Amino acid sequence: MTNGAMLLLALVLQLVPLISAQSVHNVSVGVEGSFFSPQTTSAGEGDIINFIFGGDIHDVTQSSFQAPCSPLPGGFSSGLMGRGPDFSLPTLMWSMTITNASMPIWFFCAATRPTSHCQEGMVGSINPPSQDQFQQFQNAAKQVSSTPAVSLSVQQ
Ligand SMILES: [Cu+2]
């Protein structure tokens, strides 16, 4: 093996852990009040986002930046889940994998009891272009006059 080839091999071996590194990000959903914590997450391609439903009933539904409290057609939704008002049920988790880190992901909580969580500012983002833009998104959510009830109301 030439010195050049060995150097190349050494470089490749050094890079392997970087290439295969897959980070896991935990986002807690509505444990202390109606919000996601953290509200914004920076994630790379292949990273996993775990939404941990440790509190009352909430949801994670994808929206667009333009319409913060409306489901994005074809977007993801966890469905309503949580431990209930007295936190007696098991902690559930809903996960997603980031396939395109250059595309900001905007989401909100579609729960509407007792009032729209989205309008209270329960929104979040993965890879927002800036914190300022996330703030605009959250401010816009608080201005939304009505959250479509869609099919996400809690079943009795
Ligand atoms: Cu909520």
Residue 154: the pLDDT is 44
The residue type found at 142 is K
Q: How far is the CA of 118 from the centre of ligand 1 (A)?
A: 7
What value, to the nearest 5°, has the Cα angle with vertex 25 and ends 14 and 68? 130
Q: How many other β-carbons are positioned within 10 Å of the β-carbon of residue 77?
A: 17
Ligand 1 centroid from CA 107, angstroms: 11
| CA dihedral sign of residues 115, 120, 123, 129 | positive
3-state DSSP assignment of residue 148: coil
- DSSP tally for the chain: helices H, then strands E: 2, 8
Residue 84 CA from chain centroid, whole number: 20
Query: Separation of 92 CA from ligand 1 center, angstroms?
Result: 14
Taking only the tens place, the pLDDT of each residue in 19-77 is 557 899 999 999 877 799 999 999 999 999 999 999 999 999 999 999 999 999 999 99
- pLDDT of 17 above 70: no
Q: Which of 2-11, 63-72, 144-153 has the lowest mean pLDDT?
A: 144-153
> How far, in Å, is the centroid of ligand 1 from the Cα of 55?
9
Q: Rounded to an integer, what distance in angstroms lies between the CA atom of residue 111 and that of residue 14?
A: 46
The fold for domain 22-143 equals Immunoglobulin-like (2.60.40)
| Structure confidence at residue 151 as a pLDDT band (50, 70, 90) | very low
Query: Around ion ligand 1, which residues have CB less than 5 A away?
Result: 30, 34, 58, 109, 111, 117, 122
Half-sphere exposure of 119 (CA within 13 A, CB side): 12
Over residues 72-108, the pLDDT tens digits come to: 999 999 999 999 988 899 999 999 999 999 999 999 9
Q: Sorting pLDDT into bands at 50, 70 and 90, what band is 156?
A: very low
Residue 18: its pLDDT value, please? 56
Residue 70 CA, distance from chain mean position? 15
**Separation of CA 47 and ligand 1 centre (Å):** 24
Distance CA(132)–CA(33), nearest Å, equals 23
- The predicted model gives 132-137 an average pLDDT of 98
- Domain residue spans of the chain: 22-143
